[in-house]
Chain A
Amino acid sequence: MVILVIATSIKTLLVDPSRCTGCRTCEMACSLYHEGKCSPVLSRMRIIKYEALGKSYPAICSQCSKPQCLSACDKGAIKQNEKTGAMNIDEALCTGCRSCLTVCPQIGFHPQKKVAFKCDLCGGDPQCARFCTTGAITFSGVDEFLMTRRRAIADRAVLAV
């Protein structure tokens, strides 16, 4: 059994959908950074759009503490990166059986390479969060993220005259 990095001690990608403008800059940053091409299909995260409501939702791998993708992979292709805590897919070991993406929809399937691919936190500097100007996607510690949101609620109660 792989010993997982404890999620609260490291930074991870966190999402606040209410701040998402649906611009999909993140999809472009992701696909260009990893694949050298601009394509939503090649992005490791996607924006789900509700156009009639003007709302959007960033769908991103949360690098779970008990990752089902890891359990589903019997080829040993999914491993945790000790530095970032991200579950990474070893393309050389992946057979393209798609077991992982049947248990979790945050994993993609590369249309040309025919292997699974997923968010690797860009080695510790996730580009989606880097270019998200509104704070819909942030890269931070879970507690820091929660305290920021708690403080926003508290501000309304305490600072409002």
Chain B
Amino acid sequence: MVDGWTGKRLRIDLSRGTTSVEEIGESYRKKWLGGRGFNSELLYREVGPDVDPLGPENLLIFGVGPLTGTFAPSSGRTTVTARSPLGGGFGDSNMGGHWGPELKFAGYDQLVISGKASKPVYLWIDDDHIEIRDASQIWGKLVLEADAMIKEELGSQEIHTALIGPAGENTVRYACIMSDVYRAAARSGMGAVMGSKNLKAIAVRGTNPVNIARPEEFYQISASIRERLRQDLMAQMLYDQGTWLLTMPANYELGWFCWHNFQKGNHPDAKKLSGEAHRDNFLSHREGCFACPISCGRFSKIKEGKYAGEITGGPEYETLTAVGPRIGLLDMDKVVHNNKLVNELGLDSCSCGGAIAWAMECWEKGLLTKEDTGGLVLEWGDQELITRLIEMIAHREGFGDLLAEGSSRAAEIMDRGRDYSISVKGHDMSQDDPRGLGFAFGIGFVTGRRGGDHLQGLPCLELTGAFYPGLVEKILGSKEAEAPLSPVKKPEMERYQEDLKAVGDSLTQCTFTHSWSFAVQPEDMALLLSAATGLEFSAKELFEIGSRIVHLERAYWNRLLVGRLEDKSPKRFTQEPMPDGPNKGTVFPEAELIPRYYEVRGWDKKTGFPLPEVLKGLGLEDVAAELEPYRAEYQKKIEETEAEATNPA
């Protein structure tokens, strides 16, 4: 009997229609922890540089960890991993809800899907009963309807589904996977990978327990952490207003409210999208992911106007800003409606907003005309146009087909407007501007494992850290690091938070418990893990595991010949000083901070590859050896690029 984990990996080959179950041994579990760690390891080992992200050889991997499906607070998260069709490199996405715990109760730590079905199918995992079922009736359906049809067909409401909408079926490069109807594994195109395999949905039901090595101890630790979360101001605020609470400080105090594709960091009317305005006028009720006492999830109802009567899960801050101010909207009913639309169609709101914002800015600058858009006029904030574009993207119709490629590829295809694709490594930025949010965030945007995104480290030490007296100073030895726009200790801060987040994503435990709220400390995570599994872990060992995971993900990119040259912020953040607001004049000091981050990480400043001794120190000797030829090749690439830059032909 295994405690904490199930110790089982379920593999399903859709090409052959076969399934198998493998043991995940103890030494492997100790080395990679679970969830994101298991997934990243498998992706590195089995999905090499030659694999087409949308081809049958790509794997679609779902992983949960030793704490998933337990009493540990906020332990219901799932990581989905594949080579990304958006950025072309490492891809993963993390979702809440109740699907992951159900996979665990069915008896599996990891689900690995390979191959491609010859026709649309869905999976039915009912404990050890595994079935590949015909999905021809469900194909083409919106998320809400598909979920209802599957539950009807299987004759039970006590089922949890992860599924794609039309966007995934049409391999929109940033299609997401929706679970429990309203929870998204949104980023880096995991839904497109699922669609490329002709896989509409994965329905799961499980009846097995998660065994706990020391149940009484585990109970007491969980109980005391829960009590701390109950008293925690940040957790209370997340319950009260959800992530909407960010609108007011982001706009009026810090100046990173994403307006018109990051052209500005504030808008006088941003309060129309405040957390209070949502809570008082649009909040129907609050929702919690599995075992979560914070319950930041929202459920909205539109009471008036064109969309009166609509109900929907969400939105949260990134979505409300992506399909809102990033494309010129400040009306809450429109934002809530657009959130419903992208969720139902199965689109990542951030990249969808990013693609539309790119097109709108190109239009504004005269780089796109009616000839390019099929007659569409791309004015900021035109709600009718926006809803039409979202539909066109999901179905790859007309101009939507171009935007379905993502802003970065669209700019390449059109050979214009590259600077208005606010993305890193082809992956659109979430609505977070390092010129106000903070410089540790900025480092994560540039170097992150899936490209531009706030969830590389979610370094909230520089966002909410100051609410915890002495915390930042204790961790980093500097109180000054609390200030978002101070460069002091920011590489160290980002490293700390990245490694910790990799641990949380692997256990699995929601980042908001240990970064945003800091009620859960690394030592608590080690205690929980030790009591659950019966193996002893210290906080120090957890950080080492987190660092190992981050480095393997970095090596995944390096093996694709991506390194220092591609660690590039969008020019907007480094060359356009913030035009006004409290942080007027700020740029992200990339040239100063990225080399310092490499140094802190032990990465070669020239290539951005981790140094071999660093990899070896993390138990990645084989990876260090494998990277050597790629390092040499990449050095050549740098020399050629630099020669070209100094002697343009």
Binding site for B on A (CB under 8 A): 18, 21-25, 28-29, 31-33, 35-42, 49, 51-55, 111, 131, 133-134
Contacts and interface: CB of A to CB of B under 8 A. Distances in A.
Contacts of A28: 70-71, 291
Given A28-B70, A36-B216, 12 more contacts: A18-B285, A23-B293, A23-B295, A24-B290, A25-B71, A28-B71, A37-B211, A38-B71, A41-B105, A51-B181, A53-B311, A131-B223
B215 A21 contact: no
Contacts of B311: 53-54
A104 B601 CA distance: 60
A36 B211 CA distance: 8
B288 A22 contact: yes
Interface stretch (B202-210, B394-402, B592-600, B630-638): B202-210
B232 to A, nearest CB: 11
Contact of B218 (A25, A31, A32, A42): A32
A21 B295 contact: yes
Given A23-B288, A32-B219, A41 B209 contact: yes
A32 B290 contact: no
B209 A54 contact: no
12 contacts: A21-B285, A28-B291, A29-B71, A32-B71, A32-B218, A36-B215, A37-B210, A37-B215, A39-B209, A39-B210, A131-B226, A134-B295
A133 B223 CA distance: 12
B287 A37 contact: no
B69 A21 contact: no
Give the size range of B's interface with the partner. 35 or more
Interface in B311-340: 311, 313
Which of B70, B144, B148, B182 is packed against the most chain A CB atoms within 10 Å? Answer: B70
Contact of B182 (A32, A36, A54): A54
Contact of B210 (A24, A38, A133): A38
Interface string B84-124: 00000000000000100000010000000000000000000
B212 A52 contact: no
B302 interface: no
Which of A28, A36, A54, A131 is packed against the most chain B CB atoms within 10 Å? Answer: A54
B166 interface: no
A54 B212 contact: no
Contacts of B181: 51-52
Nearest to A27: B291
A39 B73 CA distance: 15
B144 A52 contact: yes
B267 interface: no
B291 A54 contact: no
B252 interface: no
Given A23-B291, A25-B291, A52-B147, A42 B180 contact: no
B192 interface: no
Nearest to B299: A54
A21 to B, nearest CB: 4
